[in-house]
Structure 1
Amino acid sequence: MKEYSIPPGARDLVGKECKKKKALQRTIEDFMKSWGYEEVMTPSIEFYKTFQTGFARLLEEEIFKFFNNHGRILTLRMDMTIPIARMVNTRFKNVEKPLRFMYAANVFRVQKEMALKQHELTDCGLELIGKGGKDGDLEVLTCALELLKRLGLQNFTMELGNIALFQSACDGSSLDRKEVKNLTKLVARKSLKELGEYVEGLDISKEAKSFFIELPLLCGGVDVVKYVKYLCFNQGMEDAIDEMEGLLGDLEDLGYLDLISIDFGKLPRMDYYTGLLFESYVKGVGGSILSGGRYDALLEKFGEAKPAIGFSIKLDDLMNLVPYEDEEESFTVIYGEGEIRVGIKELLELQRDGRSGVLEERAGTKGVEVVSNRGGKC
């Protein structure tokens, strides 16, 4: 017999795995709705041009591409933020802002075969459109923190950064696109030796060189913010630090400061971010389970300029972190040979009472027996 398999980077879910995933998704969706976020759905297939518009540098190696019958390039969505930005400027163009959207959707990214990662993942997230400044930042960040607590996660931290600090340093140093790209790679990889050699070769001020060389190390407790203030060499950088100090003050007042750490060397893969960045990590897990940030320049690419901020949480990663116990009781309706009609009638009665069950023919059975899957007759 010929065996059929699924491609590397794909997987099947069955039985309790499906129940657990759906239960987690419902918990997340109910939580987001309690904050006033309304569900939206976008198609899995988008025009390639949509993502090309949204990204300054499209991650070509991570995107699934194909052609339609008219020769236009299509893609499987690789994230939900860009489709929602597109949707806001088509379906909600003249609607009063702010808008609060939530979603649960599969996203698709090409992974290296040896990376042992999935090509198809489920993201749950929210987007706050049309609310700028610290109020929007605080609302979304608080929502993310409370969601992690609601899920019962232990030993998690929320790491904060601000991409505006790096962007302002690059703008103030008049770096070209290629130089910014090279710096981004070296800082993100924390390649200190290579970074130092590269920065020393740039035609920039001593203050700028000092900042870029130290950037990968500007992480740790909230006290690092005070130190970074002394490395700023233009107003944009100072504004980014002032924003962070204000946000930390609000988080302290709300009782979240013990969950917060700082990493100004955090430079996101998605290049549409413009301000606050945040990622959550759980002790013992390699990557982040939740990530988000502010992207005030993205919506303008699709039409009307609006401030925006959001986050997504990786549902598949949560499966291994959040305990789950199937509390739903189901029943087996056992009937004798030739008595399936009697069994069906009994099952229909169970269903009318809001319960579920399965039919089973068993030789030697007289009449009908209804057995709980937890054991015992009822």
Structure 2
Amino acid sequence: MSQKLLHTPEGVRDIYGKEYAGKLHVERQLRECIRLYGYEDIQTPTFEFFDVFSREIGTTPSKELYKFFDKEGNTLVLRPDFTPSIARCAAKYFCEERLSLRFSYIGNTFTNTSNLQGKLKEVTQMGAELIGDPSVEADAEIISLVIQSLLNTGLKRFQVAIGDVEYFKGLCEEAGLDEETELDLRAFISGKNYFGAQDLLTERKVAEPYQSRLLKVADMFGGMDSLAGARAMADNARSLGAIDRLEKLHSLLRQYGVEAYVSFDLGMLSKYRYYTGMIFKAYTYGVGDAVVKGGRYDRLLEQFGKDAPAVGFVMVVDSILEALSRQGVAMPDAGEIRRISYSREDFPEKLAEAQRLRSQGIAAALVPAGSGCCAPEDCCQEGGIGHE
């Protein structure tokens, strides 16, 4: 066998031993918190038809998808993003349901891009979606759930930055920008490319004071005072409505007791075009990118045949685990494995011993005598039990 076949492809990795035990622990902590908020587990396929992630949906660009064909010639993709899959599933099985739906999920996502700067192309994500509730109270529930979930893992130093794409869209509408210019400007601002944004607005001949207002959006971040500044700058109902909703959201988060973990960033604009209102990201020390991303997407389910508002998030488990490690948060001991050495003659006795330990919740592994599983003096202890 070629030596090259022993290595994983670029952008993926093996996880084992204590690191994997830590990852499973983090997943359990996150899952338990989501369950306590009343969310039910759902599982969708690892690959879907290409149309689920098409340009019309407003998700990951085609060039960043892992694409392949089935035997009928249909184009399939490995999911890069859970939200469209959950939207498709909800529309298919709950099309006539009028009550709100709460789903949670976990699985791996895949992004085929070469500019990840060493980041993984396959990551584990866990998330939750609240479908059928357009209220700001639903937004507050989602933000509170994110904060409580991160706290449940042991993280303490993190911040959830919240924006609203409606504020930006209102300013673009007020300035008379066409859809193409708006999308190009969104890409520049979300990428923090302020010079590119300025050149674009100058090239498209956007007049003052609209040009200055649009460029200033990128600097609108902080506490409640940043919302007050944003309100003073806007002069259209759409943007002002977004500020009203964010102020109400902050009031609700105070009732949840989590406002200390919240800030506002009106320059936050996702590459996913299906977001329609509140949008947010959670950042923590030791990790460069956001560990949680989410927002409101009130028109995405229409693409699959169900007219329903929705809001949700995904947490990148691998990034949370990295942050916990860099911040020195201790993971619980996975527990020792009792290794029981046996021979053909005493196998029934040692099997009974192993079964007794397992019934007590103690991990026990039966190992042939002389296999080198543990030190000879350990294997000779009473009961033939050695310790890892």
User: Same fold judged by TM-score > 0.5?
Assistant: yes
What is the CA-CA distance between 1:135 and the residue it aligns to? Answer: 1.1
Q: More displaced, 72-81 or 359-368?
A: 359-368
Q: Report how many aligned residue pairs link the two structures.
A: 374
- Pairwise CA distance, 1:215: 1.5
Aligned with 1:158: secondary structure?
A: strand
1:53 CA displacement: 6.4
Q: Show the counterpart of 1:278.
A: 280
- Name 2:169's counterpart in structure 1: 167
Would the aligned equivalents of 2:187 and 2:271 in 1 still touch at CA under 8 Å?
no
The equivalent residue for 2:246 is 244
- Note the C-alpha offset of 1:203: 4.3
Alignment of 1:373 onto 2:375: no
Q: Deviations over 1:188-235 (max 9, x none)?
A: 232333322322343445232121121111122331110111111211
SS at match of 1:159: strand
Tell me the residue number matched to 1:185: 187
- Indicate conservation of the 8 Å contact 1:280/1:291, yes or no: yes
8 A Cα contact 2:30 2:150, kept in partner = no
For 1:368 and 1:235, the matched residues in 2 are separated by 79
Equivalent residue in structure 2 for 1:358, among 365, 371, 381 = 365
Identity of aligned residues (%): 28
Q: Give the Å deviation of 1:240.
A: 0.7
Distance 1:80 1:334 in 2: 46
Moved more, 255-264 or 268-277: 255-264
Aligned to 1:2: 2
- What is the CA-CA distance between 1:292 and the residue it aligns to? 0.8
- Paired residues for 1:220-235 under 5 Å: 220-235=222-237
Which moves more between the two structures, 274-283 or 169-178?
169-178
Q: 1:131 to 1:251 in 2, by over 3 A?
A: same
Q: Which moved more, 1:105-114 or 1:258-267?
A: 105-114
For the 8 Å contact 1:157–1:260, the answer to whether it is kept is: yes
Q: Give the root-mean-square deviation of aligned CA atoms.
A: 2.2
Measure, in 1, the Cα distance between the counterparts of 2:141 and 2:51. 32
Assess, with a 3 A threshold, how the Cα gap between structure 1 residues 366 and 240 changes in structure 2: closer, same or farther: closer
- The 8 Å contact of residues 277 and 294 in structure 1, kept in 2 or not, is answered as yes
State the TM-score, normalized to the length of structure 1: 0.92
Q: In structure 2, the residue corresponding to 1:293 is in which secondary structure?
A: strand
TM-score, normalised to structure 2, is 0.90
Q: Tell me whether 219-228 or 120-129 shows the greater mean CA deviation.
A: 219-228
Aligned to 2:327: none
Contact in 2 for aligned 1:334/1:361 (Cα 8 Å)? yes
Partner SS for 1:149: helix
Unaligned runs of 5+ in 2: 325-329, 371-375
Change (3 A) 1:54 1:102: farther
Q: Which residue in 1 is equivalent to 2:332?
A: 325
- Counterpart of 2:292 in structure 1 is 290
1:29 is matched with 31
Task: Give the C-alpha shift of residue 113 in structure 1.
Answer: 6.4
1:216 alignment partner AA: A
1:70 maps to what in 2?
A: 72
Q: Is the 8 A contact 1:136 1:309 kept in 2?
A: yes
Q: What is the CA–CA distance in structure 1 between the aligned matches of 2:124 and 2:206, rounded to whole Å? A: 43
